Amino acid sequence: QDVVKIRMGRDKLSEQLATLKKQRVNLETELLSLVDLQPGPALGRPVTVTPETSVLKLVDLYPLALANRQELSLMRTKIAKMERMIAMAEIMIRPGLTRNDAVYPDKALLQAGSAGMTPSFRISMSPTRGKGLPQNAWFGSRDGYLRETQRKLEALRADLADARARTRLMVHTGWFDLDKAQRERSLFKHRLLELARTSLQVSTREYESGKVSFADVIASYTGWLDVNLAGERRDSDVGIARIELERRIGTPLP
């Protein structure tokens, strides 16, 4: 019966190994597509890198993300551009404070009464201007465009505030994922792996003394192998979480 169980487990592992080989081919094809290469070139084995496990303070990551995130920089650039556009439009559309378009010259003595030398008002009028209209006939015709642009600027500033809030949320969730991956790595690497190794040693000695069956030894060995593989998987999870946090912040982590 023990031999049958071992054979069943071996067949399952063989099938999982075949699946992993197919997944490796898929990953190689995806990597080749990322670097714009045709399928065919063989990829070398990846370099084993020990993940960085330094503890990062969340309060230090917020200003780093707000200053370096590319999406926020783009929105700030758009706001600055629109502010300059509005400033130029105000100069072009609205009169300055010293143009005096609605003020008459200070010639009261020369214009008053029947002895006035110059008329107080225009005595002729161009066809494009009616009686009583201001001298600058088209003043204010584009003021609606200016007000609309100002409303767009206010909306863009509100979008920036919303993006800043969403950036803080993204940084917090990314930091949580990294902290979780580091804690799980520490659990598997420093505690569970040692316990699984001790269990395997005890089972081996008891099998040699005839106290346990061979299936129990295989189960202990399989448990040690699973914990070891899970620890290596946690190394990968720490690296992935760290890279994802760097992507959300927009700059390498300190």
Quote the crossing angle between the two packed helices 214-249 and 58-68, to the nearest 10°: 50
Mean pLDDT of the chain: 82
**pLDDT the model gives residue 95:** 61
What residues have CB less than 8 Å from 93, skipping those under 6 apart? 140, 142, 143, 145, 146
What residues have CB less than 8 Å from 1, skipping those under 6 apart? 215
Q: Name which residue leads in pLDDT, 243 or 128.
A: 243
Within 10 A of 249 (CB to CB), how many other CB atoms are there? Answer: 22
Strongest mean pLDDT among 5-14, 120-129, 171-180, 219-228? 171-180
**pLDDT the model gives residue 122:** 57
- Convert the pLDDT of each residue in 193-213 to its tens digit: 999 999 999 999 988 888 888
- Convert the pLDDT of each residue in 150-197 to its tens digit: 999 999 999 999 999 999 999 999 999 999 999 999 999 989 999 999
- Cβ atoms of 238 and 232 closer than 8 Å: no
**pLDDT the model gives residue 106:** 52
**pLDDT the model gives residue 164:** 96
Mean pLDDT, range 62-72, rounded to an integer: 94
Distance CA 141, CA 144 (A): 7
**pLDDT the model gives residue 113:** 58
Mean pLDDT, range 43-49, rounded to an integer: 76
Distance CA 214, CA 207 (A): 7
The answer, yes or no, to whether residue 43 has pLDDT greater than 80, is no
Distance CA 233, CA 38 (A): 29
**pLDDT the model gives residue 8:** 84
The answer, yes or no, to whether residue 138 has pLDDT greater than 70, is no
Mean pLDDT, range 81-107, rounded to an integer: 72
- Cβ atoms of 90 and 145 closer than 8 Å: no
Mean pLDDT, range 59-86, rounded to an integer: 94
- Convert the pLDDT of each residue in 92-102 to its tens digit: 776 666 555 55
Percent of the chain whose pLDDT exceeds 70: 80
Distance CA 20, CA 13 (A): 10
Query: What's this model's pTM, rounded to 2 decimal places?
Result: 0.70
CA distances from 14 to 6, 21, 39, 87, 227 (A): 12, 11, 27, 71, 19
**pLDDT the model gives residue 166:** 96
Counting Cβ atoms within 10 Å, is residue 82 exposed (0-12), middle (13-18) or buried (19+)? middle
Among left, alpha and beta (phi > 0; psi -120 to 50; other), residue 20 is alpha
